[in-house]
Chains A and B, each alone.
Chain A
């Protein structure tokens, strides 16, 4: 019985809607007329362009890089010319504009450089990590953290187990499922390479039990390898959460406030594994990704391999456009995804889905008073008290909200999904988090200011003291000299 096989407390079974796209093989989207590459990453780090307007660039050419490893390099996904560098809308839900490289396609789809294949298992760990960094790979599961850095950290912590996340628990999304079926070998070999790069003993690819075709494909691909294991986990949202996947796979729990690497475990997504394989085996940078376009608001749901920087409008027209009833565009899955502010938004490296949802799917209804039914508490995979956190957040009692666990919240949305009073719980939590962060940085700023003022006051005081001391010393000197003179005079006169 499912109830007894539950790998962790809480969690929900949202309606899957996977049937829209699960049978759609991955299609390669022809490169669009223009791509838009934002020069600012999700975490705010800036990239500086290495090309200028009018330059012609080749597919796979490095076009922008950052000051350090936290800023992953950006490569051109197409052959063409740099048409413009200007402020352009980004995937951020606020619709904020960021500096963007606009590259116009010249129609040629070949790679600009020969990316000769190599035998990656012969590479040393350091070289592997460097290549992964240089290829501009970030976590393709949605977090968008630089993969090379995560791997390096894991190696330094002597991680022994690599878990590859094939959960894909968000409704609608089927791109990882298709990827595992169609590129099982890439995924398996990529996992093996990643494990080798960090010195892990084995890699476990964890797949939810509702994806039998993927499980089958991966098992065949990994049949000969004994350091790769395929493990089936029950389907339960949010299985994609790192901590919950680790619990389901190994039975171990990552204590609150600590990282999984401290248990010797690292988690990466299947799509990332494939990108790593391409980077190491063929020396190819990350310039495209698989994503699902779905929802009842789309004419033809699809799984597409798209160049990074393709605009949402191009994706929509590749899928037959929107239906009349489409009401909301979402980047990512419906549980944790964010509203797309404009159809001209470009796809960045961490967007795994594009959903056009109708009102019936969104079910955005008027919220009512909390009836204390406790469903949110039962659904929360982190063991928190969502209704209490929301009640405190609403009246800006952020300490109270933290007392009920706000800091541990994944913003996974399970509580909002089940709330019969339709209370926008997650909205309260992200708002409260934002406020707390703002307060904290204000506090830090004023602490810094205080520190500086104090330092200045101290410095001034010290300088004053020094001047005084100097004066005093000079006066003493003068006195001494005068005394000496006197004594001399006296002695002279006395002679």
Chain B
């Protein structure tokens, strides 16, 4: 029996931050496995390289900063590496992947003071750094070559085995043929490792919602922020602007809505703030894709909105219980 003073509450809901992180990783499994299925061995290598080098970088940084190594497996470093891998083309040269992971952990996270202190989503920061430094490798989209079951057995494509590769255009590139929405749902098209199937991402997202790891506000706001302007402009000039569904189901939009914009460290805490943040992300994705030079606006949009998070948190606080606008007059019943 301990009689020393301990402050309440003397009970706890039982969640821990690392359990939250691992649940996110668990939720990423469907789309990750699907990515491996579609893109084969090279994708697996990218995923492994990114994860392992993220953990390695974390360990080095913890040692360097004199922090206990026990937080190495709190899930946050692994999650960063994993998200980075999912956002990369499936055949990115492995040294580039490793460089990205190191950058994400060292600059994206520890340079800001470690877990919880970073202003920008580390995976997205690394993604953008790589895109700027290695534009050729980072836009080398491989065709989806999933194994097919034929009469003679499983037909494994040499590309799938990582022996050779063919390039293809992403659905967002101007010359790409219009892909059926159905294909975008199931993801037999070129793209980043983890973004090809909206369906599997959605499955993971719903799992997170169900487990209350994330709430519905940010995903909804991101999707609305992108869909509303797209609907409007497509209705005015259908030949010039992509339809809302193409926008929603292509690129990393679903991944961003459920897994990247919802990153708790870099998104606002109040519900009001989350609406502003999510809508801002969606709108920026639309603007960059439609009027900018980069075909893929997701990473940039999230980073830009990350920068506004402290501001949003400062100005959009929740209202203190019972406080009311100045004009409000309470009547005495």
A residues contacting B by CB (< 8 A) are 8-10, 12, 14-15, 93-95, 160, 171, 243-244, 252-256, 263-264, 322, 326-330, 334-342, 355, 357, 361-365, 368-375, 377-378, 380-385, 387, 404-405, 408, 413, 416-418, 420-422, 424, 426-427, 430
In the complex, what distance in Å separates the CA atom of A346 from the CA atom of B187? 69
Residue pairs across A and B with Cβ atoms less than 8 A apart, 5 shown, are: A15-B13, A253-B321, A361-B11, A385-B317, A416-B8
User: Given the complex, which residues of A lie within 8 Å of B3, measured CB to CB?
Assistant: 95, 329, 339-342
Minimum CB–CB distance from B187 to chain A (whole Å) comes to 30
In the complex, what distance in Å separates the CA atom of A439 from the CA atom of B182? 67
User: Given the complex, which residues of A lie within 8 Å of B269, measured CB to CB?
Assistant: 372-374, 377-378, 385, 387
Q: Which residue of A lies closest to B264 (CB)?
A: A373
User: Given the complex, which residues of B lie within 8 Å of A329, measured CB to CB?
Assistant: 1, 3
Number of A-B contacts (CB under 8 A): 168
Q: A338-B8, A373-B264 are in contact. List 4 more A-B contacts (CB 8 A).
A: A94-B5, A243-B321, A256-B322, A372-B116
User: Given the complex, which residues of B lie within 8 Å of A372, measured CB to CB?
Assistant: 116, 264-266, 269
Stretch from B15-23, B50-58, B297-305 contacting the other chain: B15-23
Q: Which residue of B lies closest to A374 (CB)?
A: B269
Candidates B6, B7, B114, B332; contact of A369 at CB < 8 Å: B114
Are A377 and B318 neighbours in the complex by a CB distance under 8 Å? Answer: yes
Within 8 A of A (CB), among B286-333: 317-324, 330, 332-333
Are B9 and A405 neighbours in the complex by a CB distance under 8 Å? Answer: no
Of listed B9, B19, B215, residue having the most chain A CB within 10 A: B9
Q: Which residue of B lies closest to A332 (CB)?
A: B8
Is there a chain A Cβ closer than 8 Å to B115's Cβ? yes
Are A160 and B333 neighbours in the complex by a CB distance under 8 Å? Answer: yes
User: Given the complex, which residues of B lie within 8 Å of A364, measured CB to CB?
Assistant: 6, 12
Is there a chain A Cβ closer than 8 Å to B237's Cβ? no
In the complex, what distance in Å separates the CA atom of A418 from the CA atom of B76? 19
Are A15 and B16 neighbours in the complex by a CB distance under 8 Å? Answer: no
Q: How many B residues, CB 8 Å from partner?
A: 45
Are B71 and A368 neighbours in the complex by a CB distance under 8 Å? Answer: yes
User: Given the complex, which residues of A lie within 8 Å of B116, measured CB to CB?
Assistant: 369-372, 421
User: Given the complex, which residues of B lie within 8 Å of A328, measured CB to CB?
Assistant: 1-2, 6, 10
In the complex, what distance in Å separates the CA atom of A279 from the CA atom of B115? 58
User: Given the complex, which residues of B lie within 8 Å of A424, measured CB to CB?
Assistant: 7
Minimum CB–CB distance from B10 to chain A (whole Å) comes to 4
Given A243-B321, A372-B264, A408-B321, A426-B10 contact (CB < 8 Å): no
Given A8-B321, A254-B322, A365-B15 contact (CB < 8 Å): no
Are B1 and A326 neighbours in the complex by a CB distance under 8 Å? Answer: yes
In the complex, what distance in Å separates the CA atom of A381 from the CA atom of B322? 10
Minimum CB–CB distance from A235 to chain B (whole Å) comes to 16
In the complex, what distance in Å separates the CA atom of A335 from the CA atom of B20? 23
User: Given the complex, which residues of A lie within 8 Å of B5, measured CB to CB?
Assistant: 93-94, 339, 341
Given A264-B333, A368-B74, A387-B269, A417-B320 contact (CB < 8 Å): no
Are A413 and B9 neighbours in the complex by a CB distance under 8 Å? Answer: yes
Are A255 and B17 neighbours in the complex by a CB distance under 8 Å? Answer: no
Of listed B1, B14, B20, residue having the most chain A CB within 10 A: B1
User: Given the complex, which residues of B lie within 8 Å of A370, measured CB to CB?
Assistant: 116
User: Given the complex, which residues of A lie within 8 Å of B6, measured CB to CB?
Assistant: 328, 339, 364
Within 8 A of A (CB), among B13-55: 13-17, 19-20
Is there a chain A Cβ closer than 8 Å to B270's Cβ? yes
Minimum CB–CB distance from B77 to chain A (whole Å) comes to 13
In the complex, what distance in Å separates the CA atom of A158 from the CA atom of B184? 67
In the complex, what distance in Å separates the CA atom of A93 from the CA atom of B4? 9
B residues contacting A by CB (< 8 A) are 1-17, 19-20, 71, 74, 76, 114-117, 215, 264-266, 268-271, 317-324, 330, 332-333
User: Given the complex, which residues of A lie within 8 Å of B322, measured CB to CB?
Assistant: 243, 253-256
Given A253-B324, A382-B321, A408-B320, A14-B265 contact (CB < 8 Å): no
User: Given the complex, which residues of A lie within 8 Å of B264, measured CB to CB?
Assistant: 371-374
Are A14 and B323 neighbours in the complex by a CB distance under 8 Å? Answer: no
Are B11 and A369 neighbours in the complex by a CB distance under 8 Å? Answer: no
In the complex, what distance in Å separates the CA atom of A355 from the CA atom of B269? 34
In the complex, what distance in Å separates the CA atom of A430 from the CA atom of B7? 9
Are A336 and B9 neighbours in the complex by a CB distance under 8 Å? Answer: yes
Are B2 and A327 neighbours in the complex by a CB distance under 8 Å? Answer: yes
Are B7 and A426 neighbours in the complex by a CB distance under 8 Å? Answer: yes
Are B11 and A383 neighbours in the complex by a CB distance under 8 Å? Answer: no
In the complex, what distance in Å separates the CA atom of A264 from the CA atom of B323? 18
Minimum CB–CB distance from B112 to chain A (whole Å) comes to 12
User: Given the complex, which residues of B lie within 8 Å of A404, measured CB to CB?
Assistant: 317
Given A329-B1, A374-B269, A383-B10 contact (CB < 8 Å): no
Are A416 and B15 neighbours in the complex by a CB distance under 8 Å? Answer: no
Given A255-B324, A327-B2, A370-B116, A417-B11 contact (CB < 8 Å): yes
Are B1 and A12 neighbours in the complex by a CB distance under 8 Å? Answer: no
Of listed B71, B114, B319, B323, residue having the most chain A CB within 10 A: B323
Q: Which 7 A-B pairs have the closest CB atoms?
A: A374-B269, A413-B9, A427-B7, A373-B264, A334-B11, A253-B322, A363-B12
Are A383 and B8 neighbours in the complex by a CB distance under 8 Å? Answer: no
Are A405 and B320 neighbours in the complex by a CB distance under 8 Å? Answer: yes
Of listed A12, A256, A322, A357, residue having the most chain B CB within 10 A: A256
User: Given the complex, which residues of B lie within 8 Å of A12, measured CB to CB?
Assistant: 13
Are B15 and A420 neighbours in the complex by a CB distance under 8 Å? Answer: yes
In the complex, what distance in Å separates the CA atom of A422 from the CA atom of B13? 10
User: Given the complex, which residues of A lie within 8 Å of B71, measured CB to CB?
Assistant: 368
Are A330 and B320 neighbours in the complex by a CB distance under 8 Å? Answer: no
User: Given the complex, which residues of A lie within 8 Å of B17, measured CB to CB?
Assistant: 368, 371, 373, 420-421
Are A363 and B14 neighbours in the complex by a CB distance under 8 Å? Answer: yes
User: Given the complex, which residues of B lie within 8 Å of A355, measured CB to CB?
Assistant: 10
Q: Which residue of B lies closest to A410 (CB)?
A: B321
Are B2 and A335 neighbours in the complex by a CB distance under 8 Å? Answer: no
User: Given the complex, which residues of B lie within 8 Å of A341, measured CB to CB?
Assistant: 3, 5
Of listed B14, B270, B322, residue having the most chain A CB within 10 A: B322
User: Given the complex, which residues of B lie within 8 Å of A375, measured CB to CB?
Assistant: 15
User: Given the complex, which residues of B lie within 8 Å of A94, measured CB to CB?
Assistant: 5
User: Given the complex, which residues of A lie within 8 Å of B319, measured CB to CB?
Assistant: 383
User: Given the complex, which residues of A lie within 8 Å of B323, measured CB to CB?
Assistant: 255-256, 383
Minimum CB–CB distance from A340 to chain B (whole Å) comes to 7
Candidates B4, B266, B330; contact of A263 at CB < 8 Å: B330
In the complex, what distance in Å separates the CA atom of A333 from the CA atom of B266? 35
Q: Which residue of A lies closest to B113 (CB)?
A: A369
Q: Which residue of A lies closest to B309 (CB)?
A: A372
In the complex, what distance in Å separates the CA atom of A342 from the CA atom of B4? 9
User: Given the complex, which residues of A lie within 8 Å of B16, measured CB to CB?
Assistant: 365, 368, 420-422
In the complex, what distance in Å separates the CA atom of A417 from the CA atom of B114? 24
User: Given the complex, which residues of B lie within 8 Å of A337, measured CB to CB?
Assistant: 8, 10
User: Given the complex, which residues of A lie within 8 Å of B117, measured CB to CB?
Assistant: 369
Minimum CB–CB distance from A395 to chain B (whole Å) comes to 14
Are B1 and A384 neighbours in the complex by a CB distance under 8 Å? Answer: no
User: Given the complex, which residues of B lie within 8 Å of A416, measured CB to CB?
Assistant: 8-9, 12
User: Given the complex, which residues of B lie within 8 Å of A387, measured CB to CB?
Assistant: 269
User: Given the complex, which residues of A lie within 8 Å of B74, measured CB to CB?
Assistant: 368
User: Given the complex, which residues of B lie within 8 Å of A361, measured CB to CB?
Assistant: 10-11
In the complex, what distance in Å separates the CA atom of A384 from the CA atom of B17? 21
Given A93-B5, A339-B6, A363-B333 contact (CB < 8 Å): no
User: Given the complex, which residues of B lie within 8 Å of A373, measured CB to CB?
Assistant: 17, 20, 264-265, 269
Candidates B14, B15, B270, B320; contact of A377 at CB < 8 Å: B270
In the complex, what distance in Å separates the CA atom of A374 from the CA atom of B312? 13
